Structure 1
Amino acid sequence: MQLENSRKLKQQRTDCYRLLAALFYPPQREVLLSESVCQNLALLLDAVCPEAGRYAGEMLQCLEKSSDSELAVEHAALFVGPFELKAPPYGSVYLEEHRRVLGETTMATLAMYREAGLKLDIREPADHIAVELEFMYFLAVREVEALLSEDQGRPDVWQKRQAEFLLGYLGRWTPDFCSSIKNGTQNEYYRALANCLAAFIACECEKVKQPANAGSRSE
């Protein structure tokens, strides 16, 4: 029973990455509402990271009050342009000097994707927030598949890849990115999304660090 619950929690975590990634693409309000994306995310996060789940609930309330045009304008101003972006959604902007797009860290993330066996067919740079979240989803899916196949040792491989990417890339720049969103908009939906992502990634980083911390305390 304990093993079954652990697998269920891992699957829920996997789906959190998938839904969060979807929310950083151009918003389609009716689709988000009809498919209960925010509601489903809130339910998943309640099990995985309750603090983030609270913000997902706020997102649903804000989404219901927002219009398609409001969301589209705000998404463009934050993440797309044509003017200076209020919250560039690219990791290299936050990880490298001079806020560069398509920097060395972008190429490093692309190399990690290829090394893990992920083939990309996208227009966005490899370190776009949605792409990095989708990569974590890809890795988490592989971990769950390895657990279900009872292939001893393989889950550890995918866990290690997730930890390396989370601590080396996604987890390093997400806090600043989420702060940029909140500083760049008064739109309550996107402010709640920023809080949700920040809380979830903070939970994820803490969980990854726990084994190492536990080991150091026991020494």
Structure 2
Amino acid sequence: MSSAAVLPRILGALFYYSPQRPDIKALMECLPTLPSLYAWRDPQAIARLCEAWPTVDDDALNWQFSVLFEGQGDMIAPPWGSVFLEKDNLLMGDTTAEYRGFLRDHGLAFDSHQQEPEDQFGLMLLACSALIERDEAVAAAALLEKYLLPWAPRYLELLQNNAISPFYARLACITDMFLQDLQQQLGLSPVQRRIYK
């Protein structure tokens, strides 16, 4: 796997898959190595954030993931782009259909057993990683500019401010820094979209 694809793959997996999975537990053990996986603008800040991850037992973390990503009651930070980009905060709206077409055009399809909308934040990072891995830099940039970056800052802000999980708040902070760095390093110009949440 190319080094540029590693970090979005790790972050995407952590935002998408349950922490109950053995492979995700293994990824969590690698979190202190994140500063070495990317050319961060502020490596000291990332190192500080990665030194002491909030610790929580497995059952509590599983519950936190379920509340934040699977939806129990009113979701404070829904992880789907359409909730932020659609006036009525709908899942599977027009923006999801547009993004699905983009994925299809680039030969990406996700076999989700949960019928997850494709515009789930972690899935989008995984798609970006797959495009980078295939040396499709233009398509990866388009995914970021048109489909992920327009709403990601608001989503990550809500997740950073959540009172449910310090672990996922820290993950959101680091991911926000990564996306800002990526935007600057690649000279990306995110599409300006109205955010409804």
TM-score by length of 1: 0.75
Deviating 4+ runs (over 6 angstroms)? none
8 Å Cα contact 2:77-2:159 kept in structure 1: yes
5+ residue gaps, structure 2, are: 190-197
Report the number of matched residues. 184
- Matched residue type, 2:120: H
* Counterpart mapping for 1:87-106 below 5 A: 87-106=77-96
8 Å Cα contact 1:12-1:48 kept in structure 2: no
- Quick one: which of 92, 109, 119 aligns to 1:119? 109
Per-residue Cα deviation, 1:26-48 (whole angstroms, up to 9, x for no partner): 11387555453313433203x35
Q: Over aligned residue pairs, what C-alpha RMSD do you find?
A: 2.4
- What corresponds to 2:193 in structure 1? none
- What corresponds to 1:215 in structure 2? none
Instruction: Answer with 1 or 2: which has the greater Rg.
Output: 1
8 Å Cα contact 1:43-1:53 kept in structure 2: no
- What corresponds to 1:202 in structure 2? 180
- 1:210–1:109: structure 2 CA closer, same or farther, 3 Å change rule? closer
Per-residue Cα deviation, 1:81-133 (whole angstroms, up to 9, x for no partner): 22111110101111221211111111111111111111221131110111101
Mapped pair 1:133 → 2:111: no
Q: For residues 49 and 111 of structure 1, what CA distance do their matches in structure 2 show?
A: 34
- 1:34–1:89: structure 2 CA closer, same or farther, 3 Å change rule? closer
The percentage of aligned residue pairs carrying the same residue is 28
Deviation at 1:175, TM superposition (A): 0.5
Higher helix share: 1
Q: For residues 57 and 22 of structure 2, what CA distance do their matches in structure 1 show?
A: 10
TM-score by length of 2: 0.82
Deviation at 1:20, TM superposition (A): 0.3
Per-residue Cα deviation, 1:55-106 (whole angstroms, up to 9, x for no partner): 6615x532xx210122112112212122111110101111221211111111
- What corresponds to 1:38 in structure 2? 31
5+ residue gaps, structure 1, are: 1-9, 144-157, 212-219
